[in-house]
Chains A and B, each alone.
Chain A
Amino acid sequence: MSAARDLIEGRSTLAELRGHSPAALAALCHDALALHENGRSDEAMVMLRGLRALDPSNAQVLRLLGLMLTERGAHQEALSYLDDALKASPSDARLRVARARLRLQLGDGQGAGTDLRIACDQAAGAGGQHAALFLKKILAEAATPQA
Chain B
Amino acid sequence: MNKRVGSSSVGGGWGFPVTPAGVTSDHKVKDAGPASFDPRTAPLPEHGVLEKIDPDQRRRQLVWELEEELPEPTRFAQLMAAFMDNARTDLDLDLDDPSLTEVELERLNRLLADEAALVEMMRKTERLRLEVRSRAASERAS
Q: Is the interface of A mostly helix, strand, loop or mixed?
A: helix
| Segment from A20-28, A72-80, A103-111, A139-147 that makes contact with B | A20-28
Q: Does B44 reach chain A (CB closer than 8 Å)?
A: no
Given A33-B66, A60-B66, verify A130-B55 contact (CB < 8 Å): yes
Which of B59, B65, B82 sits near A133, CB closer than 8 Å? B59
Complex interface: chain A residues within 8 A of B100 (CB)? 4-5, 8
Decide: A53 and B64 in contact? CB cutoff 8 A: no
Complex interface: chain B residues within 8 A of A60 (CB)? 66-67
Decide: B83 and A31 in contact? CB cutoff 8 A: no
Given A5-B100, A52-B114, A53-B112, verify A97-B125 contact (CB < 8 Å): no
Q: Which of B61-97 contact A (CB under 8 A)?
A: 62-68, 70-71, 76, 79-80, 82-83, 86-87, 89, 91-95, 97
Contact size range, B: 35 or more
Decide: A18 and B91 in contact? CB cutoff 8 A: yes
Decide: B93 and A3 in contact? CB cutoff 8 A: yes
Q: Total interface residues on A, using CB and 8 Å?
A: 47
Q: How far is the CB of B105 from chain A (nearest CB, A)?
A: 8
Nearest A-chain residue to B98, judged by Cβ: A2
Q: Does B21 reach chain A (CB closer than 8 Å)?
A: no
Decide: A4 and B70 in contact? CB cutoff 8 A: no
Q: Does A118 reach chain B (CB closer than 8 Å)?
A: no
Q: Does A35 reach chain B (CB closer than 8 Å)?
A: yes
Complex interface: chain B residues within 8 A of A31 (CB)? 125, 129, 132-133
Which of A5, A14, A49 sits near B97, CB closer than 8 Å? A5
| Segment from B2-10, B32-40, B116-124 that makes contact with A | B116-124
Q: Is the interface of B mostly helix, strand, loop or mixed?
A: helix
Complex interface: chain B residues within 8 A of A2 (CB)? 93-94, 97, 99
Which of A8, A18, A30, A35 sits near B125, CB closer than 8 Å? A35
Q: How far is the CA of A94 from the CA of B67 in the complex (A)?
A: 11
Q: How far is the CA of A44 from the CA of B65 in the complex (A)?
A: 16
Q: Which of A's residues lie within 8 Å of B, judged by CB?
A: 2-5, 7-8, 14, 17-21, 23-24, 26-31, 33-35, 38, 40, 43, 46-47, 49-54, 60, 64, 67, 94, 97-98, 101, 126-127, 130, 133-134, 137
6 CB contacts below 8 A, A to B, read A2-B93, A4-B95, A28-B83, A34-B132, A43-B124, A50-B117
Other than A4-B100, A50-B116, give 11 A-B pairs with Cβ distance below 8 A. Answer: A4-B94, A5-B99, A14-B112, A20-B83, A23-B79, A27-B71, A35-B129, A46-B118, A47-B121, A52-B114, A60-B67
Which 6 pairs show the lowest CB-CB distances between chains A and B? A50-B118, A53-B114, A53-B111, A34-B132, A130-B59, A24-B79
